[in-house]
Chain A
Amino acid sequence: METPRLQRLPSSAREKILKTLKLAQDMGAETATLPGSDVAETVVEYARNHNLSKVMLGRDKTRAFAPWRSGYADRIAQRAPELDITQIVRDEGAGARSSANGEPARLERIAWTGYLVSAGVCVLTTFAASALQPLFELANIVMMFLLAVVLIAVRLGRGPAVLAAFLNVAAFDFFFVPPRFSFTVNDFQYLLTFAVMLAVALITGQLAAGLKYQARVAMNRELRARALYEMSRELSAALLLDQIAEIAARFVEGSFRAKVALLLADEHDRLNFPVARSQVPVDAGIAQWAFDHAEAAGAGTGTLPGSPVLYVPLKAPMRTRGVLAVQPSGTRWLLIPEQRRQLDTFATLIAIAIERVHYVDIAQLTTVQIESERLRNSLLSALSHDLRTPLTALVGLAEYLTLVKPELSGEQREVATAIRDEARRMTALVNNLLDMGRLQSGEVKLNRQWQPLEEVVGAALAQAKPLLGGHEVQVQLDPALPFLEFDAVLLERVLFNILENAHKYTPPGSVIRLSAQLRETFIDVVIEDSGPGLPEGMEEEIFKKFTRGRKESATPGVGLGLAVCRAIVEAHRGSIRAEKSALGGARFVFSLPLGNPPALDENTVPGSLRDNR
């Protein structure tokens, strides 16, 4: 509670309150500092606004001198019968101890000058009053003294006002009430005048000081609110990170008289440190800690409070965006929860602004990507149609040439066959190119289904059959291999491409062996041959686009087949590699993850006709 009384407390007591609040915050409590002059009323209002049902208070001290004044608990209970109130024991001993070593604060020195001024004003008032005394009644002179007290209360606060009240009563008695220049009072009536004068002076002084304090609190609040308002307005207009950093620095420096550095995180969750311009001695370790834990660290916090800099994480809705490093002129204000909350709010505003800028960037990037994707897709489908259609005609017409009557001569027939073969090769190349394009553009959606490896191997071998006529193909597949989840069409391409490679790079009569083994959570599919093998050191290179084992070799191809294989296998979260085979030639191994095949319970086989086995 921020009541007028708070201001009257010695600074050590205030600090104690702040420390208690801090402790509560550290233990997970949410604290609030409320302005108001009536504790009970403000507490009740806050509790109602926030749907709180329990209030816990320090036990009221028994008031020996004012038994008619009820304690906070009673007053709250009166106002809000629906609240549960718990009273707890006050720890008086600790309070007394800590206040014993309270330091003489600067504030008190300022107060002494106030008392001096107050006394001076009283003297002046007395002079003025004595000048006017012949012209006015004593009753009007009293008014002047009261006016002086009110003015002092307004200007200097409560203490000097109290002093002035007493001084003025004394001066009035001494200088004006007959017999003059003596504290003796002849007329008994003046005693009442003194009492009323003193009471009025004290009460008006009190009220004026309280009002002034409330006004100051309100002004501070308004300043904070205005700072927040202006900062959020400026941040909402910011489009660049630099702008945000500048706005953040300006506002935090303005509101807290602190130096500021804004540390932003990159996509790998590492903070970037501003190199030269920062005036804040940033400690990278603490900053990173604050970022990683999304918790404030450094001065005024529970973590490394010895550091002169406070690190506030910039928490945005999606993730932490960075850290605000604040070096305050003094660490005391960091303990004030209101100030910390203000700073945290600043941090949140900055974080949201950074996130917004981030997403603006992403949105722009995405738009560009979508555009280029669309362009690429339309290009691909146009290519796909426009290249294949003439190729189909070319292949067909070349083949037809070999069928026409009268039959072609041997040489003509050879040419026709060559045209057909080249057209077919061109088709294969176009297919690989288009596959690669589609796989890389992410256009291909895997049609993953649970199925046996055997089927796709069978289909690939059937497709490669015309190629592998001269080779000895061995297949070793354990019938007990589990089902795998894959896109059969794409996996067939992988197998076919590898088999086609084996056909291209091994002499007729070579052995090609296809097998599969379980290995932990993968199935390794191995295709090896007894050919000449891969050139040394090319085991990884050959999977790159447009790379071939032997440059400029007589074997046709552009080196896309294996790149397509890799793209497909990796789309299945698998891996592919090439190595030397025990058969002497090349050995290609691709691994596919096992996953969790669906339970194929014989009893739940669909349909009315159950399989009874």
Chain B
Amino acid sequence: MTTHKPALLLIKDERQIRRFVRSVLESEGWQVFEAESLRRARVEIGTRNPALLILDLGLPDGDGVRFIRELRDWSAMPVLVLSARAREQDKISALDAGADDYLVKPFGTGELLARVRAILRRLDKARAQEESKLEFGAVCVDLSLRRVLREGELLRLTPLEYRLLTFLIAHAGKVLTHQQLLTGVWGQARAENYPSLRVFMTRLRQKLEREPSRPQYLLTEIGVGYRFVTDPVDDAVPQA
């Protein structure tokens, strides 16, 4: 973690929620700025240059998804989205627009902190030298040799499976929507291709996971997409 206080912009219209998020993050050593509307947020982003944006999708003065798209035109600033439950389409649109992760309301401090840390860790990793070797569980992926070992034995992956795996590894920790995966791995995304994505994901799980129906690394984000995590304990999401 960085030593100086990183700045964070919280865009949310509910004062009580802002207050609790602020308190939790400040106790973690963040410097938190608040904005209650998108208009205010634009000003704050310009003046504070925060390291992270926490954005509620249901703001009264505009479309959060469009705001993210706008932001992505000029900044790679990470965005964590707060969304209501059962609004999968909102989450998908936000992620497709370039949001990094989402939190479903109501969320606890544990979840909030886990997500914020995960985003920052990913950024740190991205800045650090690309690793050529990655280990999770009993699996070892050697990106330079293009081979995958499980418990020391060579795993046979098809080219497409390997490509899917490396794409997931490249975005480790981040939720990838079905569409992002299809575009990234297959080169095109159409709704009728979703089942084939699922077929490959299932196969990958069967080859890499100890218990495919209770995956530890290749997680399903129901209704949204998939997330690859290398350290299940730290990223575990305690939920209601």
- Chain A interface (Cβ < 8 Å from any Cβ of B): 384-385, 388-397, 399-400, 403-405, 420, 423-424, 427-428, 431, 435, 447, 449-452, 454-459, 461-463, 465-466, 473, 475, 477, 479, 483, 488-489, 492, 597-598, 600, 605-613
Which residues on the B side are within 8 Å of A455 (C-beta)?
Answer: 198, 201-202, 220, 222
CB distance from A472 to the nearest CB of B (A): 13
Question: When the two chains form the complex, which single residue of B105, B187, B193 contacts A609, counting CB atoms closer than 8 Å?
Answer: B187
User: CB distance A392 to B105 under 8 Å?
Assistant: yes
Interface string of B224-240 (1 = CB under 8 A from A): 00000000000011111
A454 to B222, CA, bound (A): 12
A420 to B108, CA, bound (A): 9
User: CB distance B24 to A400 under 8 Å?
Assistant: yes
B158 within 8 A of A: yes
Q: Which of B72-80, B84-92, B138-146 contacts A (4 or more CB under 8 A)?
A: B84-92
User: CB distance A396 to B108 under 8 Å?
Assistant: yes
User: CB distance A613 to B220 under 8 Å?
Assistant: no
Q: List 15 A-B contacts (CB under 8 A).
A: A392-B17, A396-B21, A396-B109, A399-B24, A400-B20, A424-B240, A450-B194, A450-B198, A458-B215, A461-B213, A463-B239, A489-B222, A605-B196, A607-B185, A609-B159
Which residues on the B side are within 8 Å of A611 (C-beta)?
Answer: 158-161, 200
B106 within 8 A of A: yes
Please count how many residues in chain B sit with their CB below 8 Å of the partner chain's CB atoms.
Answer: 59
Question: When the two chains form the complex, which single residue of A390, A393, A420, A431 contacts B85, counting CB atoms closer than 8 Å?
Answer: A431
Which residues on the B side are within 8 Å of A385 (C-beta)?
Answer: 58, 84
Given contacts A403-B27, A600-B196, A605-B160, contact A458 B213 (CB under 8 A): yes
Question: When the two chains form the complex, which single residue of A392, A400, A461 contacts B106, counting CB atoms closer than 8 Å?
Answer: A392
User: CB distance B182 to A598 under 8 Å?
Assistant: no
User: CB distance A397 to B20 under 8 Å?
Assistant: yes
Question: When the two chains form the complex, which single residue of A392, A420, A606 contacts B188, counting CB atoms closer than 8 Å?
Answer: A606
Which residues on the A side are within 8 Å of B206 (C-beta)?
Answer: 479
Question: When the two chains form the complex, which single residue of B161, B212, B237 contacts A454, counting CB atoms closer than 8 Å?
Answer: B212
Given contacts A396-B108, A609-B160, contact A458 B220 (CB under 8 A): yes
CB distance from B70 to the nearest CB of A (A): 25
Which residues on the B side are within 8 Å of A600 (C-beta)?
Answer: 195-196, 199
Which residues on the B side are within 8 Å of A613 (C-beta)?
Answer: 158
B153 within 8 A of A: no
Instruction: Kindly report which residue of chain B lies nearest to residue A466, judged by CB atoms.
Output: B238
Question: When the two chains form the complex, which single residue of B88, B188, B237 contacts A489, counting CB atoms closer than 8 Å?
Answer: B88
B211 within 8 A of A: yes
B4 within 8 A of A: no
User: CB distance B24 to A403 under 8 Å?
Assistant: yes
B163 within 8 A of A: yes
B6 within 8 A of A: no
Which residues on the A side are within 8 Å of B222 (C-beta)?
Answer: 455-456, 459, 488-489, 492
B151 within 8 A of A: no
User: CB distance A606 to B196 under 8 Å?
Assistant: yes
- Chain B interface (Cβ < 8 Å from any Cβ of A): 14, 16-17, 19-21, 23-24, 27, 58, 84-86, 88, 105-110, 112, 158-161, 163, 182, 185-188, 190, 192-196, 198-202, 205-206, 211-215, 219-223, 236-240
CB distance from A561 to the nearest CB of B (A): 13
Which residues on the B side are within 8 Å of A405 (C-beta)?
Answer: 27
User: CB distance B195 to A449 under 8 Å?
Assistant: yes
A396 to B240, CA, bound (A): 13
CB distance from A355 to the nearest CB of B (A): 40
CB distance from A556 to the nearest CB of B (A): 13
Instruction: Kindly report which residue of chain B lies nearest to residue A384, judged by CB atoms.
Output: B84
A455 to B200, CA, bound (A): 12
User: CB distance B110 to A399 under 8 Å?
Assistant: yes
CB distance from A293 to the nearest CB of B (A): 45
A392 to B107, CA, bound (A): 6
User: CB distance A404 to B27 under 8 Å?
Assistant: yes
Question: When the two chains form the complex, which single residue of A393, A459, A606 contacts B14, counting CB atoms closer than 8 Å?
Answer: A393
Which residues on the A side are within 8 Å of B238 (C-beta)?
Answer: 466
Which residues on the A side are within 8 Å of B188 (C-beta)?
Answer: 606-607
A456 to B17, CA, bound (A): 31
CB distance from A466 to the nearest CB of B (A): 5
Given contacts A388-B84, A600-B199, contact A457 B237 (CB under 8 A): no
User: CB distance A479 to B196 under 8 Å?
Assistant: no
Given contacts A391-B106, A606-B193, contact A483 B213 (CB under 8 A): no
CB distance from A487 to the nearest CB of B (A): 8
Given contacts A399-B108, A462-B237, A475-B211, 14 further A-B contacts (CB under 8 A): A396-B112, A403-B109, A431-B85, A435-B86, A449-B195, A451-B198, A455-B201, A458-B220, A475-B213, A477-B213, A489-B222, A606-B188, A609-B160, A609-B163
A598 to B202, CA, bound (A): 16
CB distance from B84 to the nearest CB of A (A): 7
CB distance from A312 to the nearest CB of B (A): 52
A461 to B163, CA, bound (A): 28
Q: B185, B212, B214, B222 — which one has the most chain A CB atoms within 10 A of its CB?
A: B222
A606 to B21, CA, bound (A): 43
Instruction: Kindly report which residue of chain A lies nearest to residue B23, judged by CB atoms.
Output: A400
